[in-house]
Amino acid sequence: MTRISRIVLAAALALAAGANARAAETGWKLERAGVDVTDRASLQSGARTFVNYCLGCHGLALMRYSALTSIGLTEEQIKDNLMFTADKVGQPIATAMSARQGKEWFGVAPPDLSVIARARGADWLYTYLRTFYRDASTPTGWNNALFPNVGMPHVLWSLQGERALRTEELMRDGKPVSDGHGGTVKVSRFETIAPGSMSAVEYDRTVRDLVAFLVWAGEPHQLARHQLGIWVLYALVILVFLTYFLYKSYWKDLH
Amino acid sequence: MANTSTTPPVRQHWAHQLLDWVDARFPLTPLWESQWGKYIAPKNMNFWYIFGSLSALVLALQIVTGIFLTMNYKPDALLAFASVEYIMREVPWGWLIRYMHSTGASAFFIVVYLHMFRGLLYGSYRKPRELTWIFGCLIFLSLMAEAFFGYQLPWGQMSFWGAQVIVNLFAAIPVIGPDLAIWIRGDYVIGDATLNRFFAFHVIAIPLVLIGLVVAHLMALHETGSNNPDGIEIKKQPKDPHTGLPLDGIYAHPYYSVKDVFGVAVFLLVFSIIMFFAPEMGGYFLEYNNFIPADPLKTPPHIAPVWYFTPYYSIQRATTTDLLYVLAAGVVVLVAFYWREIPRGLWRKLTLAVAAVLLVGFYFIEAKVWGVVLMGASVLFFFLMPWLDRAPVKSIRYKGPLYKTALAIFVVAFLVLGWLGTEAPTPAYTRLAQVGTLLYFGFFILMPWYSKADSHKPVPSRVTK
Ligand code: HEC
Ligand code: HEM
């Protein structure tokens, strides 16, 4: 490679490294979801949570129930355990709530969640579902640290329990710490008001499974894509070698 | 028959007979030989020469995958988003076709940008290859239109609001703007009518233009012959007495055929790594917000075009009233600077008239409109390259420090503008983008001066390794 090509390559790599991060509009820090879409038990548990706690308001309308067979469920299991609003596995995973009802009840229609993981990212969803807190000033009585004044109530509250958000100034040596822009640094922490049916660890696992399911649902063929990709790469590496030797053997008699 | 020949007739293979049959009716063999089979190319074409073949490969890939996408895509504001997801989920191999097409769009710009950069390195735009270069610039313009229209089709938030931003720029043009915007949209707002016409442009109108231009580009190139990293015209060299080829010439076939095949294999490897393992490419190739269906009532907080448009978008955003003052001063200084170079009479009058129109325009017309003008100019300046460069040598290998520095600054300005275009504007970023804009245009506008003032090394008579 010439010197110029090396510079170009280095610039390209530098650019790729600084990838376009998803924006969290508030300053709230995203926590790593660490989902594993190859873990079928996790995806199935997520599917159950979704059907039980989310499907009342949100659909996954771009997907059919039958697609759940590819996370290891049989049609019988799907029919018996997951289908409440549909009667054929070929039907889309739609919610029974209409957009108009949603708008009337919550001010905003709950969006379809088929590709929400691709728009928001797993970490955002994981953080969002774990940062609801009690707030008497909103119509639902709930608010969210990541998505302030969200129209959605904390539907998993019976699992996580009720919490309040306490925001205080960060103190050092008895004085508030300045943020350098004329204000002070604030820290927030959650305080349990009433415990839920799950421990914090259990709740985190439930949310992680739910998020894993949504990530999978965002692109159900992603596992097939990886598997096929490996074979294609093997084949192309061989092709690169073959064509390289072909090229060299033709060019060797030129000078 | 009266006379029987002494030698028995040679029985030709049926394939040769078929070829003879065709050649008697259509110049198939001459076409193949003039365009590739007997095309004589310099023997020192390096790494940078692969990107032309790769562009053609990607064009073919886009057309073939595009045809299959069209079989399931629905150009309807109510159905478009879901139809793309239907392709991703339900159409057999639909996800692969769609990712090939979406990765292909970005790959197209990568290979075309590198292909153009090669031109800047080795002076490929210089006489006698001006038309090849101009056809190339037209291809680049069409490619931008193709990608802009294509990006509307999935009808996500970025599709919708990107179109909204661009069409609103046209609406700012004085007098005709509002009507022009309605004419482009086919409606008072971006909507179904807009999607339908953009679909028509994307799948047939622009691809036809592109194919035609690519044919013209290649015919023009094969007429003049290829340039090379030394910028030496091999056609002017003495011929080798044995082969009859110029001393540094070799047949493109099989030599560059096999080299290109190797390049294609490497490209496919890189392409597949991205397509199979990172098709969103961290939000650059497929923007995250485009997975939210278009909603005319909800303006996204941050509207960013896809990466390949961001340098131009930055230039447009950088054009504020402040910048117009600088531009006005720039026009005056440039006219004074180049005054002695401009031929007396009509040309000088014309220069003064253009300068006067610009100065009055800067004063009376909104900065936003000038942003559109500058965005257009940033692409149009490429067309002028053959006449802006006055260096006595073509290749950067023999050019002096001025051109090397100018090119380096240009590349950095282009990349920084590109990066700024992906970020939400802040006052500091806008300043940086304004500096970038001035450097970008400076590369072109000052070229007649620095390319002439520059030193250069003697060009050897034979190509180097
Ligand atoms: C009682 C109805 C209801 C239920 C049940 C519900 N949601 Fe929501 N959800 C909403 C509403 C309403 C919004 C819109 C909030 C807004 O935009 O202010 C919303 C918004 C969201 C969003 C944000 C979408 C975006 O990017 O703007 C996510 C993610 C989400 N819900 C996930 C879930 C999950 C996961 C569940 C199941 C655990 C769930 N919701 C259950 C009503 C509900
Ligand atoms: C010449 C080069 C081409 C370029 C640069 C290009 C670019 C694009 C882009 C940027 C998109 C949106 C990306 C996405 O999928 O999210 C797109 C979508 C699409 N293109 Fe093209 N395209 C090209 C040629 C074609 C041709 C020739 C056809 C049809 C004959 C076609 C048909 C389609 C269709 C139907 C879609 C929508 C489906 C989808 O979004 O995946 N394209 N194209």
Q: Per residue in A6-17, pLDDT tens?
A: 665 665 555 454
Does residue B394 fall inside a structural domain? yes
Residue B5 has pLDDT above 60, yes or no: no
Contact yes or no for B43 and A219 at CB 8 A: no
Chain A contact set for B415 (CB, 8 A): 11, 15
What tokens does B156 get? 């996500």
Q: Which pLDDT belongs to residue B203? A: 98
Of B271, B299, B327, the residue that ends a domain is: B299
- Whether A181 shows a pLDDT value over 90: the answer reads no
Same domain, B215 and B361: no
pLDDT value of position B4: 56
- What is the average per-residue pLDDT within A13-32? 62
We report the CATH number of the domain holding residue B245 as: 1.20.810.10
Confidence of residue B173 (pLDDT cuts 50, 70, 90): confident
Residue B437 lies in a domain: yes
Examine residue B121 and state whether it is found in any structural domain, yes or no.
yes
CA dist B67 → A42, A253, B101, B204 (Å): 38, 43, 10, 10
What pLDDT shows up at residue A13? 54
CA geometry: angle B197, B201, B203, nearest 5 deg: 115
Q: Which domains does chain A have, with CATH numbers?
A: 22-161+197-220 (1.10.760.10)
Residues B223 and B334 in one domain: no
Indicate if B56 and B180 belong to the same structural domain: yes
Q: How much is the pLDDT for B86?
A: 97
Chain A partners of B289 at a C-beta cutoff of 8 Å? 119
Q: How many domains does chain B have?
A: 2
The verdict on B54 and B91 lying in the same domain is yes
- Residue B340 and residue B363 in one domain: yes
Contacts across the A-B interface (CB distance below 8 Å): 113
Please compute the mean of the pLDDT values over residues B143-171 and round it to a whole number. Answer: 94
- A106 Cα nearest atom in ligand 1: 12
Say whether pLDDT at B369 is over 50: yes
In a domain, B77, yes or no: yes
Question: Is there a single domain that holds both residue B79 and residue B171?
Answer: yes
Q: Atom 42 (ligand 1): residue with closest C-alpha?
A: A152
B271 and B372 co-located in one domain = no
- First and final C-alpha spacing in chain A: 19
Each residue's pLDDT tens digit, B313-352: 999 999 999 999 999 999 999 999 999 999 999 999 999 9
**Higher pLDDT, residue B207 or B173:** B207
Q: Do residue B318 and residue B431 come from a single domain? A: yes
Residue B18 lies in a domain: no
Whether residue A20 is predicted with pLDDT greater than 50 in this model: the reply is: no
pLDDT tens per residue, range A222-253 = 999 999 999 999 999 999 999 999 999 999 98
Residues with CB under 6 A from ligand 2: B 59, 62-63, 66-67, 69-70, 73, 84, 98, 101-102, 105, 108, 143, 146-147, 150-151, 153-154, 202-203, 207, 210, 286
Closest chain A residue to the Cα of B79, Cα to Cα: A62
Is residue B158 a contact partner of residue B265, using CB atoms and an 8 Å limit?
no
Average pLDDT, chain B: 95
From A110-124, A174-188, B55-69, B270-284, the region with the lowest mean pLDDT: A174-188
Q: Among B261, B280, B299, give the residue marking a domain's end.
A: B299
**A250 vs B258: CB contact, 8 Å cut-off?**
yes
Q: Residue B80: inside a domain, yes or no? A: yes
Percent of chain B with pLDDT over 90: 93
d(CA A138, CA A152): 10
Supply the pLDDT for residue A18.
Answer: 44
Residue with the smallest CA separation from ligand 1 atom 5 is A54
User: Residue A255: is its pLDDT beyond 80?
Assistant: no
Nearest residue in chain A measured CA to CA from B83: A62
**How far apart are the C-alpha atoms of B397 and B459, rounded to whole Å?**
9
Whether residue B44 lies within 8 A of chain A, CB to CB, comes out as no
Q: Supply the range of the domain harboring residue B222.
A: 34-299
Q: Please indicate if any CB of chain A lies within 8 Å of the CB of B302.
A: yes
d(CA B67, CA B441): 39
- Closest residue by Cα to atom 42, ligand 2, is B66
Same domain, B222 and B362: no
What are B78's two structure tokens?
């109510």
Residue B19 lies in a domain: no
Q: Give the distance from residue A159's alpha carbon to the nearest chain B alpha carbon, in angstroms.
A: 29
What's the pLDDT band for B204 if we cut at 50, 70, 90? Answer: very high
**Would the pLDDT of B118 be above 70?**
yes
Helix and strand counts by DSSP (H, E) for chain A: 9, 8
Q: How far apart are the first and last CA of chain B?
A: 60
Query: Which has more confidence, B132 or B169?
Result: B132
Residue B394 has pLDDT above 70, yes or no: yes
pLDDT given for residue B211 in this prediction: 98
pTM for the full model? 0.91
Measured between CA atoms, how close is A146 to chain B, in angstroms? 16
pLDDT of residue A19 exceeding 50? no
Q: Which residue of B has its CA nearest to A19?
A: B282
Q: Calculate mean pLDDT across residues B392-398.
A: 97
pLDDT at A3 > cutoff 90: no
Nearest CA in chain A to B257: A247
Looking at the structure, tell me whether residues B349 and B409 fall in a common domain.
yes
pLDDT of residue B272 exceeding 50: yes
Most B CBs within 10 A among A7, A30, A118, A250, hence the mutation to make, goes to A118
pLDDT digits (tens, 9 = 90+) for B212-242: 999 999 999 999 999 999 999 999 999 999 9
Model pLDDT for residues A68-107, shown as the tens digit of each residue = 999 999 999 999 999 987 889 999 999 989 889 999 999 8
Per-residue pLDDT, A17: 46
Nearest-Cα distance to chain B for A182, in Å, is: 19
Name which of B118, B262, B419, B422 to mutate to probe chain A: the one with the most chain A Cβ atoms within 10 A of its Cβ.
B262
Q: Do the Cβ atoms of B273 and A233 come within 8 Å? A: yes
pLDDT confidence of B3, banded at 50, 70, 90?
low
- Cβ–ligand 1 contact at A53 (below 6 Å): yes
Residue A24: pLDDT over 60: no
Q: Which pLDDT band holds residue B255 (cuts at 50, 70, 90)?
A: very high
Name, in order, each residue with C-beta under 8 angstroms of B215's C-beta and a sequence gap of 6 or more. none
| Mutation choice for A interface testing from B45, B47, B50, B89 by most A CBs within 10 A | B89
Q: Where are the beta strands (DSSP E) in B7-128?
A: 40-42
Which is the closest atom of ligand 2 to the Cα of B206? 1
**Inter-chain residue contact B282 with A16, CB threshold 8 Å:** yes
Interface test with B, best of A115, A120, A214 (most B CBs within 10 A): A115
Torsion of CA B76, B79, B82, B87, to 10 degrees: -60
Residue B150 lies in a domain: yes
Tell me the ipTM for this assembly: 0.91
User: Same domain, yes or no, for B147 and B181?
Assistant: yes
How much is the average pLDDT of B349-359? 96
Does residue B1 have a pLDDT over 50? no
Predicted confidence at residue B338, as pLDDT, reads 95
Looking at the predicted structure, is the pLDDT value of residue B309 above 90? yes
User: Which tens digits make up the pLDDT trace of B43-96?
Assistant: 999 999 999 999 999 999 999 999 999 999 999 999 999 999 999 999 999 999
Burial of B263 (0-12, 13-18, 19+ CB in 10 A): buried
pLDDT at B10 (0 to 100): 72
* Residues of chain A found within 8 Å of residue B114, distances taken between Cβ atoms: 8
Contact A19 B281 (CB under 8 A): yes
Nearest to B276 among A23, A25, A228 (CB): A228
Residues B281 and B337 in one domain: no
Indicate the residue among B282, B299, B316 that finishes a domain: B299
pLDDT value for A179: 80
- Residues of chain A contacting residue B285, judged by C-beta atoms under 8 Å apart: none
